[in-house]
Structure 1
């Protein structure tokens, strides 16, 4: 698996040049698939020719893995997994196939590695994720149509070819993650026999099945990528973060069982084990209660283990394809970007901006002051509608009731209210002990100023030149116990509902996902291949109580988790970067090919915005673009037709 690379901007082409090329080569510049007019013209002017594809691997595949090809012609499967072209193995490193293609047409294609489950369904293991696919040049009848020798993952063309291969997205399989990512997970019965802080852990399938693989990430800087387990398990010591990553076919979900085996770090002896079945996973996430039984005496319990899990299901709406991916697209040539926090800044405070936060008016205000992107917060209502609001709940009161003191207000969670009721609710805030009421959604005559806009409205009404950081709100468990809020909506359902609207209406613009929930980031990463994902963390803060997930505790832990699951990077809290080593910390992220978008109240001054730019932040997210935007900035970075043309391939519907 190669380290993710940041790509340079794609070349653009004018419509006039495109039409000229079409006339010369029929459809040489076509980026679409299944274009009937071009295919018809090509069939008249092009002679079908057998084209041979030869590819060499940089390392052999696993015995069950196979290599395939897909591209923008019908004979190449039109980027679809189900219609791909398998290659034949020549030896451990060389593969080839021959496809009849139109000779005068320039084609685009990619290679990928897959496995088949017992039902013959393909699972994408790894695929070439360069922003621009490979190109197969056209040739005339007088020319010899020689195909190049490709190196899997190595981009063709350019002075410095780069290797870029990433894991696929879920199609006919699911992911189970078993997470050793907290404190006090074991309750030990016999410390002399079993020391849970110095063991080696292994997840073993009780029954083997095609398409089932167990990997792990032990999160250490620069070494966190997923890999196969050692024979006697993964060394685990107190404070380590070890995530077991199990991929299995959907049809095995209710049948598969596993053993958690615990070995001695000193003697490699099997100390004990616990059995778990996939059917125990009753929701998208939860906590397993396992009893580790002695290997010598099955009646003896050595320890009890509280083991968190997350279950990632495939995206349930339209299938995705191999045409392109923006999941790791953030060119080095881009400048430090300015991101408007909740639009033009927080509202329910003293001296707030004129526009209420997380409204279309606030987003447009930030854009008017040259913000490159805006950050917004997404919740799901009780009837499954993604809406924009920051907090998990809100203070309200019945119609007509006079409110004078904070204790007269009721607190309700957005996830418990359907959208039509939400629009009618009175909204209050308490600022410096004083109760203030704000216009309800239905009471605000100006559409752009209405609170609780739907995500789809925001995506449709904001200009494409304004990038969007879509933060998925999911309550976290605190170190001292308890959650930020209750959440009863299924996590896979939540992620799919948001993804569905973003894929349908958010394409054609710079857009990135973020979340404080590490597992939500994992879901967003493996459900889709279009948009990048950032892990949002509060780090080593003194402002709030730490979260229980160790991955959230400091910047390097966040960077490690991003490497493990191939996220685009992190969105760390500014408080981590006020010391002398700030620039070195950010360099650690860049060395792993990651972005770092810094956020927080400590960003809220023109001097601090300049400071975070100077120490190497990819972007800075702050309130009040109208006050703190650099004076020299004349327009937003994405306010360019040529630059926006780079994002057109996101739109697949």
Structure 2
């Protein structure tokens, strides 16, 4: 069973290293010291699409050093499902590797990763292993060490365009089509470039002429992949479109997803097919009409457009409303293939304590936390009282700094006084204020502005100040406590209103936040979450390291309903989470109290489940929820409601146990190497397990007694010092 983010196995330490850390991924030594040897990589892969090839990638330079553009393409064996190649790898060292399915645009420079083996522990070639022979049984793609894991790739060079159809988006004006099943198919088509006047060879001119004649001035975009998924179908995963498209049903959501390299040169042909009321078996549907979505419409990263539907006789037939989102790769950060936690969790681990906004909401009408929410002080307080995770909210300031704050709006007053008049408050969106303005102005919570009754915390203390930056939070808090980072983003309600108007560009917004987390996350366990399903999808596609959980209100009498059908119920959220390969859901406790069986429904789908809600502010409710088997419970006032006898994060406890295991390993081998000089293996506040393991395994020399090694081990104390 895969285990995610746990330290009980010292060999996992190398896989948890942050992006910015410098660590050789072989055995701590340069591979140039070792002579090369031949190794046959051979695997069986089914159902490849056009242009896809099977590749191998690994932790040594000969296998690309986990950089996707440097993967090694294998050769197909006589049109079989087996792909293989003999590659020179370093001798006398352990080598890690994975298989992946890629589209190689330009070898060594541009590669699209369509899918890959996303085990936490890669495949391993031990130093003394012998290369398999061609007569041996091939490895199966995605199966290793009794584990099956194949994940979709993430965005590297390509762009994904999603077209979403929901809330009965199609209107047809002909009565004969009323109450008929309509099938919709979306095809990306490449726009031919204008004549630049540059002379062409005879063959190029002939090819362009034939293309224009046979494809009506369109060509198929190179390396494009088009798929569809339905929210209420039996299979909610993305799959190739049927010949005549996918049926749209009432209250369903169809998501057409196209992966393209040059989105500005790609249009979308939308065909409508309708079956005759008397059609027989095997009879094709009638091609009723079509629309074109041109790239000039997709100028922003997301939006909605209404397109005319034209009949095949070029007459107006109706209209179709399409919501779209354009997802681009991160421009300033490249993910590698060394490790992924996106769908890994220790399934037996349940009942984690998650501090809501740190120590709890501090601006409710009653039962407020006494420490200001979403501050360093609030988060530290929860950590000091045994939180396994702390949950907090992140959004951007006007100058694009990720900050920790919950509400979209704040109230400001230029008067620093305790008694406020009605005209002393000005409500502003957080996104319209820079970081300096937010931190220097006298800022009030929205509820304080409405009630004219400000609450006063220890604002003169640095840790109690609102609007800490995400980078600061990542750097100063105990690394043994996980972060549940909720991304704030506007949602449209069922009545058509928005929680926040005119947000920033969704790609710029998430790129900015993700880059901070990927650069400063280190070894910390991090989970992203958001109420907006598109945000979840974009985070999942932009990076391959951290998991995403879909926050959902579900069927609620407390909160208004959102327009998006993915948010309407826990079963719908389960379908969507599996559609885009998320880790799991964070559901509203109101839903679970109404129907506790929903917890098992989520878990049967292979998903992790947390819960949140005001009802969690009660020890008996927290106990009941943990007994249901939830993986985590998000609640206020951990300092008051936590039932832990020892107020420590479970991850700190397991880190300590892992260190003890390594100490025992060192003691067991010390006698064989008693003459060797001592080796310092303590690097930071946490034992550098991998470095120690290298000395134990490679040199068989620890020269460190149990007592001396133990003396180096110290825990991260509550002041954040070693």
User: Does the Cα contact within 8 Å between 2:55 and 2:71 map onto a contact in 1?
Assistant: yes
CA distance in 1, matches of 2:28, 2:386: 42
- 2:10 aligned with 1:13, yes or no? yes
Q: Secondary structure at the match of 1:361?
A: helix
User: Which residues in structure 2 correspond to 1:334-373 (within 5 Å)?
Assistant: 334-349=349-364, 350-373=366-389
- 2:515 aligned with 1:530, yes or no? no
* Candidates 49, 55, 62, aligned match of 2:49: 62
User: Does the Cα contact within 8 Å between 1:5 and 1:164 map onto a contact in 2?
Assistant: no
* Candidates 647, 650, 660, aligned match of 1:637: 650
Task: Sort the Cα spacing of 1:479 and 1:386 in 2 relative to 1 into closer, same or farther, 3 A.
Answer: same
What is the aligned partner in structure 1 of residue 260 from structure 2? 248
What is the aligned partner in structure 1 of residue 289 from structure 2? 272
CA distance in 2, matches of 1:405, 1:271: 64
CA distance in 1, matches of 2:584, 2:623: 21
Task: Sort the Cα spacing of 1:485 and 1:432 in 2 relative to 1 into closer, same or farther, 3 A.
Answer: closer
What is the aligned partner in structure 1 of residue 188 from structure 2? 205
Supply the RMSD in Å over aligned alpha carbons: 2.9
User: Which residues in structure 2 correspond to 1:224-373 (within 5 Å)?
Assistant: 224-249=236-261, 252-266=262-276, 267=279, 268-295=285-312, 297-298=313-314, 300-349=315-364, 350-373=366-389
Deviation at residue 281 of structure 1 after TM alignment:
0.6
Structure 1: gaps of 5 or more residues: 19-29
- 2:44 aligned with 1:38, yes or no? no
- 2:208 aligned with 1:220, yes or no? no
Deviation at residue 117 of structure 1 after TM alignment:
4.2
Deviation at residue 431 of structure 1 after TM alignment:
6.3
CA distance in 2, matches of 1:488, 1:306: 22
In the TM superposition, what whole-angstrom CA distance separates every residue of 1:26-63 from its partner, at most 9, and x where no partner exists?
xxxx97347884325x33xxx32111111122x23223
What is the aligned partner in structure 1 of residue 617 from structure 2? 604
CA distance in 2, matches of 1:262, 1:515: 34
User: Which residues in structure 2 correspond to 1:450-489 (within 5 Å)?
Assistant: 450-489=465-504
What is the aligned partner in structure 2 of residue 21 from structure 1? none
CA distance in 1, matches of 2:453, 2:657: 43
Deviation at residue 432 of structure 1 after TM alignment:
12
CA distance in 2, matches of 1:270, 1:145: 54
CA distance in 2, matches of 1:649, 1:509: 15
Deviation at residue 519 of structure 1 after TM alignment:
0.7
Task: Sort the Cα spacing of 1:315 and 1:257 in 2 relative to 1 into closer, same or farther, 3 A.
Answer: same
Q: Secondary structure at the match of 1:522?
A: helix
In the TM superposition, what whole-angstrom CA distance separates every residue of 1:267-325 from its partner, at most 9, and x where no partner exists?
51111110012331111100122111112x21x22222221111110012121111110
Structure 2: gaps of 5 or more residues: 15-21, 190-218, 280-284, 660-685, 691-722
Task: Sort the Cα spacing of 1:203 and 1:647 in 2 relative to 1 into closer, same or farther, 3 A.
Answer: farther
Task: Sort the Cα spacing of 1:335 and 1:150 in 2 relative to 1 into closer, same or farther, 3 A.
Answer: farther
Q: Secondary structure at the match of 2:603?
A: helix
CA distance in 2, matches of 1:432, 1:11: 49
What is the aligned partner in structure 1 of residue 70 from structure 2? 83
Q: Secondary structure at the match of 1:52?
A: strand
Task: Sort the Cα spacing of 1:400 and 1:604 in 2 relative to 1 into closer, same or farther, 3 A.
Answer: closer
TM-score (norm 1): 0.88
CA distance in 2, matches of 1:193, 1:526: 38
* Candidates 82, 107, 119, aligned match of 1:94: 82
CA distance in 1, matches of 2:345, 2:431: 34
What is the aligned partner in structure 2 of residue 172 from structure 1? 157
Task: Sort the Cα spacing of 1:541 and 1:432 in 2 relative to 1 into closer, same or farther, 3 A.
Answer: farther
User: Does the Cα contact within 8 Å between 2:40 and 2:131 map onto a contact in 1?
Assistant: no
- 2:611 aligned with 1:619, yes or no? no
Q: Secondary structure at the match of 1:254?
A: helix
Q: Secondary structure at the match of 2:513?
A: helix
* Candidates 182, 185, 201, aligned match of 2:169: 185
What is the aligned partner in structure 2 of residue 51 from structure 1? 39
CA distance in 2, matches of 1:192, 1:203: 24
CA distance in 2, matches of 1:400, 1:60: 67
Q: Secondary structure at the match of 2:144?
A: coil
* Candidates 513, 517, 536, aligned match of 1:498: 513
What is the aligned partner in structure 2 of residue 125 from structure 1? 114
User: Does the Cα contact within 8 Å between 2:39 and 2:86 map onto a contact in 1?
Assistant: yes
CA distance in 1, matches of 2:292, 2:131: 61
Task: Sort the Cα spacing of 1:642 and 1:324 in 2 relative to 1 into closer, same or farther, 3 A.
Answer: farther
What is the aligned partner in structure 2 of residue 421 from structure 1? 437
Task: Sort the Cα spacing of 1:237 and 1:107 in 2 relative to 1 into closer, same or farther, 3 A.
Answer: same
CA distance in 1, matches of 2:467, 2:171: 45
CA distance in 2, matches of 1:542, 1:647: 49
Deviation at residue 5 of structure 1 after TM alignment:
6.7
What is the aligned partner in structure 2 of residue 27 from structure 1? none
CA distance in 1, matches of 2:131, 2:260: 45
* Rg larger for: 2
CA distance in 2, matches of 1:144, 1:526: 36
- 2:104 aligned with 1:116, yes or no? yes
Deviation at residue 536 of structure 1 after TM alignment:
0.7
Deviation at residue 494 of structure 1 after TM alignment:
0.6
CA distance in 1, matches of 2:80, 2:508: 42
